[in-house]
Amino acid sequence: MISKLFKISICALFILRILSPTMGQDNSDALILTLEQAKNYAIENNKSLKNSKTDVEISDKQIWAAISQGLPQVEASIDYTDYFNYEAEFAFGGGGIPEEQLQLIDQLMAAGSLQDQTLWQISRATVAPSEPTAIKMDNSSSAKLQVSQLIFSGQYFSGIQIAKIAKELANMNYENSELTIKESVISAYYLILVTEESLKIIDANLENLNKTMKQTETMVSAGVAEPLDLDQLLITVNMLENYRSQVRRSVELNYNLLRFLLGVSFDTDITLTDNLETLIEEINFDLLLNSNLNYDDNITYQMLSLQENMSEKMLNLEKWNYAPSIVGFYSYNEKILTTDFDMNPNHIAGISMTIPIFSSGMRRANVQQKQLELLKVQTNKQILEDQLTMQEKQYRYDLISAIEQYELQKQNVDVARRVYDKIDMKYNQGVSSSLDLTQANSNLLDAENNYISSLMNLLQAKLNYNKLLNNL
């Protein structure tokens, strides 16, 4: 029923307004939009889509960050050291042969028992203690430039692939958000047209009833009709006017919902140029019902396929943990201030290889974990295929039912209108009672409301089916 649609639109509007505290800061220019123009405008200005675009830009930066890790890295540093006049002492010799043995050697030499003069001199020189030597540590300063380059790392190449897949996912998420926004805009556009059409029907009924009331007042004054007939018509008119007020408020709320989706302020005037009859006539139901579901066209299936691809890359990344990594480097050290005791060279170059040997089963467990995660994604993909197949059958059934219901309610409106016109004519001739007239008017209003509801259901069924086929 239309009343249910109104309640849904009201709740949706309040939720969206809470989630968008900055609403109302945009321009207040009037917009004149066809359905296609409304979709395009929302794609350009919807705030949620702007965030999705930002996510795509972030993924671009992440790819470059991953690539740059394998490119030359250059680092520079400068330092200064103050030793506060510290002196380092160095002493050579002493403590080699005890003094008693030295005296014995001297005695043997004096007695002529030790003939080797050279040996005696060497022993005395070796064990002779020397005076400590002090070296003052002067303050030092140096500037260092180091260049490093990754030569080989399996994780590096896998990381780049994962970053690229992450960008594809960001793009796919943007497309999914765009599809959702299109669906919401189309639904809001339909809802506005339906409520406005419902308002036209109510106005037309009120106009007829007011004419009948004036005629009835004349007939009551002439004594042809009973005052009870006038009271019954008055009750019907009052109820219909109250319902018209509700519908008018619903129309405005639906416009606010569309304004939110378009990313404009709530005081922006919007005029919709498409009408329900044109939209219905443009639908090729035969072509739509003959369309076949292709999993690869469905945005959800595409995203899950990308997740499967990423899971495979993550598995390869864990496997590369078993491989060594090689890094080369070159360092130049320019000595600005130096001490007399400086052993640091100016140029240093080298290659470093890291070889994983034993991790107590951690690497193996990580690989197994990624294998299970990949299996889980593949199973989810199969589940999604089943769900999409079932959904396609359900949406096709809903569309066929909506078409049949629409045709039926359209015929019912024609019948109810003919009945009302006949009873209205008989009432004016004094043949029918006011009760018959109000009942006929109520039946006509119910038939028209049912027609509007069936029309909305038809448009919604077509929308659901097109979204499943990614054809919005």
The confidence score (pLDDT) of residue 202 equals 87
Q: Which residues contact 402 (CB under 8 A, 6 or more apart)?
A: 454, 457, 458, 460, 461, 462
Give Cα 261 distance to the centre of its chain. Answer: 16
How many CA within 13 A on the CB side of residue 78? Answer: 3
Rounded (5°) CA angle 237-241-247? 145
Give Cα 331 distance to the centre of its chain. Answer: 44
The confidence score (pLDDT) of residue 123 equals 55
**What's the first-to-final CA gap in the chain, in angstroms?**
25
Residue closest to 459 by CA, chosen among 183, 181, 179 = 183
The confidence score (pLDDT) of residue 189 equals 92
Residue closest to 262 by CA, chosen among 6, 14, 33, 7 = 33
Tokens 């028992």, residue? 113
Joined together, the tokens standing for residue 266 give 């709530």
Give residue 83's identity as a one-letter amino acid code: Y
| DSSP per-residue codes, 332-361 | EEEEEE--SS----SEEEEEEEE-----TT
Q: Tell me the C-alpha distance between 49 and 63, whole Å.
A: 22
Per residue of the chain (472 residues), give pLDDT as tens: 444 444 444 444 444 444 444 443 344 468 888 888 999 999 888 888 888 888 888 888 888 888 888 788 888 888 888 778 777 776 655 555 556 665 666 666 666 655 555 555 555 555 455 566 777 777 778 888 888 877 767 777 777 877 888 888 888 888 888 888 988 899 999 999 988 888 888 888 888 888 878 877 877 787 766 788 778 888 888 888 888 888 889 888 999 999 998 888 888 888 898 888 888 877 887 777 777 778 888 888 888 888 888 888 888 877 877 778 887 877 878 777 776 666 777 788 888 888 888 777 788 888 888 889 889 888 988 898 888 889 888 888 888 888 889 889 889 989 988 888 888 888 777 777 777 877 888 888 888 888 888 888 888 888 888 888 888 7
The confidence score (pLDDT) of residue 255 equals 92
DSSP 296: G
Distances (CA, A) of 181 to 48, 56, 136, 260, 286: 9, 17, 77, 11, 27
Pairing of strands 270-272, 31-33: parallel
Q: Tell me the C-alpha distance between 95 and 184, whole Å.
A: 95
The confidence score (pLDDT) of residue 5 equals 44
Joined together, the tokens standing for residue 427 give 């009432």
The confidence score (pLDDT) of residue 4 equals 47
The confidence score (pLDDT) of residue 25 equals 39
Q: How many helices (H) and strands (E) does the chain have?
A: 12, 8
Domains and CATH numbers, the chain: 2-72+154-323+360-468 (1.20.1600.10), 92-130 (no CATH)
The confidence score (pLDDT) of residue 340 equals 63
SS3 (DSSP) at 87: strand
Backbone φ, ψ for residue 429 (5° rounding): -85, -5
Q: Tell me the C-alpha distance between 46 and 68, whole Å.
A: 34
Joined together, the tokens standing for residue 43 give 């794609």
Distances (CA, A) of 215 to 204, 423, 424, 427, 429: 17, 14, 11, 10, 11
Joined together, the tokens standing for residue 58 give 């972030």
- pTM comes to 0.69
